[in-house]
Amino acid sequence: MFQRNADGSPALKQIEINTISASFGGLASRTPAVHRHVLNVLNKTKDAARILSNNPSQGLALGIAKAWELYGSDRALVLLVAQEKERNVFDQRAIENELLARNIHVIRRRFEDVAEKGSLDQDRKLFLDGQEIAVVYFRDGYMPSQYNQQNWEARLLMERSCAVKCPDIATQLAGTKKVQQELSRVGVLEMLLPDQPEAVARLRATFAGQYSLDLGEEGDQALAEALAAPSRFVLKPQREGGGNNLYGEEMVQALRQLKDSEERASYILMEKIEPEPFGNCLLRPGCPVRVVPCISELGIFGVYVRQGKTLVMNKHVGHLLRTKANEHADGGVVAGVAVLDNPFPV
């Protein structure tokens, strides 16, 4: 997001990193054509030509295809682990179709299917319904509510296999808010990027303030500051999928309840980013189309493939812009609050 600094200047600030089930690569690949069409209908052809091209579904498929290729079996499939009632199926189909165009076949199964029909052979190759699996692509399994004992056993089976995991459990955990908070500590980036002070400075400039709530003096101080000025902070649990953050009075109530509990260490406190609102029209079901104050969040899709400790691919493959009315504290496209959008370069 663009932080509005005290002097009025903008600065890009990082919200979070998602390492599992990053959504809307497929739909974001189609929104430029929608906005170009609207602008052309309005005879704004010059503006239509300025809408940035964007095809993250192709880039995401490229990463999965590279993993499939490294696995080394033309007969092996990609397993997409899907939810029982998947509302975002068309977004996922775009990536599946990109893979099919490369003659890489995808099967969609639930955790329950893997638990019932999955197996490993003596070489730890993963089989499902008698078909060998080269890559496991998780579009489920990012919230505790998505696991029961059977699902945990299915996840363990896939982790133990030699199939490529997107992501494996370590990479998923690396995307947690707690890891993000620890990375912002002084000295951590310097350890990870030795002798690169300029890179460290550029990265650190994108960090909003992030504070530990562990029991102890440091956590007590962060908690006291949040209770004294709640409008300056957001409380984040270790959750993905949207709709989990706490703001304002909700945050105050939660912090008071957690004050003397070890459970507070499972949250992080983050500086609330204050972007400059702008006027925009949001097309949502059941809502009149009118100009309202909005804010946007820009996401960058990246593909990262490694084989052991060897880096194979690490590249930017597209972007995602989500826009919501400024009246909503926490937004989400699936929740019906935010909409998919396009950057308009000026």
Known binding-site positions for substrate: 92, 322
Residues near 329 by beta carbon (within 8 Å), at least 6 away in sequence:
245, 247, 248
Which of 51, 143, 31 lies closest to 345, judged by CA? 51
- In the annotated binding site for Mg(2+), the residues are 16, 18, 240
Coil, strand, or helix at residue 214? coil
- Name the binding residues for ATP: 16, 177, 236-245, 247, 270-273, 297, 324, 330
Strands 291-307 and 278-281: antiparallel
Is the CB of residue 99 less than 8 Å from the CB of residue 61? yes
| CA Rg value for the chain | 22
Specify binding-site residues: 16, 18, 92, 177, 236-245, 247, 270-273, 297, 322, 324, 330
Q: HSE of 162 in the Cβ direction (CA atoms, 13 Å)?
A: 12
- H helix runs in 234-311, sequence order: 248-258
Element (H, E) at 202: helix 197-205
Distances (CA, A) of 146 to 5, 72, 266, 272: 39, 31, 19, 29
Give which of 275, 316, 334, 311 is closest to 85, Cα–Cα.
334
**267-271 vs 278-281, strand pairing mode:** unpaired
If residue 126 lies in a helix (H) or strand (E), which one and from where to where?
strand 126-128
Q: From CA 219, how far away is CA 324, in angstroms rounded?
A: 32
Residue 253 CB partners (closer than 8 Å, separation 6+): none
